[in-house]
Chains A and B, each alone.
Chain A
Amino acid sequence: AQSVTQPDIHITVSEGASLELRCNYSYGATPYLFWYVQSPGQGLQLLLKYFSGDTLVQGIKGFEAEFKRSQSSFNLRKPSVHWSDAAEYFCAVASNDYKLSFGAGTTVTVRA
């Protein structure tokens, strides 16, 4: 069965600074990988996804993620964070039957 580990429970970053959120997955075959964001009281919104092809994936809101098969990682990055980026971020992996398994999430706090 597939699984996802997000090593950082909470990250605090200054507005305008860069952000990187770590994600490690476990899955025997080629994974389908996703990053979702959840603002307080809201549902999850898809930031980006990787199915195949270019390992650097661009998403919405200025986010990007890089798939590294050798490291079983799919880290999320943003060059310059905005206060509105404060939220909880979830990495997920889908098996070949498209069943999503989520990590426990990383809470991002943005300080002025």
Chain B
Amino acid sequence: EAGVVQSPRYKIIEKKQPVAFWCNPISGHNTLYWYLQNLGQGPELLIRYENEEAVDDSQLPKDRFSAERLKGVDSTLKIQPAELGDSAVYLCASSLLAEETQYFGPGTRLLVL
């Protein structure tokens, strides 16, 4: 069974540029998560989807971050415009249901110059 797929794996951009990350969850998993992991820290939840509905986006900085999960499968996380402080690893995870184990992708490492 394929795991959670994320792309790109690495991204370098200049500040004020837009950037987008893509996530393909494990087939059949209804719940999808985006996490932010700063260097030396544990992941922090940005947004959680159940199917195509964002059920928890309280930690998503909505002035510059947006996310979507069309058709309840793949998801895209966007930052526009990016700031230096956005340099981090962005992890996607999925689970069959919210109460089930979360499986993580390898992450996208973003560097904003």
Binding site for B on A (CB under 8 A): 4, 36, 41-46, 49, 90, 92, 97-100, 102-105
Contacts and interface: CB of A to CB of B under 8 A. Distances in A.
Contacts, number: 44
B101 A92 contact: no
Binding site of B, secondary structure by majority: helix, strand, loop or mixed?
A: loop
Contact of B104 (A45, A49, A103): A45
A99 B33 CA distance: 10
A90 B37 CA distance: 12
A43 B98 CA distance: 19
Residue from B4, B42, B43, B101 having most chain A Cβ neighbours under 10 A:
B42
B16 to A, nearest CB: 28
Given A98-B99, A104-B40, A105-B40, A44 B104 contact: yes
A104 B105 contact: no
B56 A105 contact: no
Best-surrounded residue of A41, A44, A46 (most CB of chain B within 10 A): A44
Most buried by B among A36, A41, A97, A100: A100
B102 interface: yes
16 contacts: A4-B42, A36-B104, A41-B106, A42-B106, A43-B4, A43-B106, A46-B101, A97-B56, A98-B98, A98-B99, A99-B56, A102-B44, A103-B42, A104-B42, A105-B41, A105-B42
A44 B101 CA distance: 12
Given A49-B101, A98-B98, A99-B48, A43 B91 contact: yes
A16 to B, nearest CB: 28
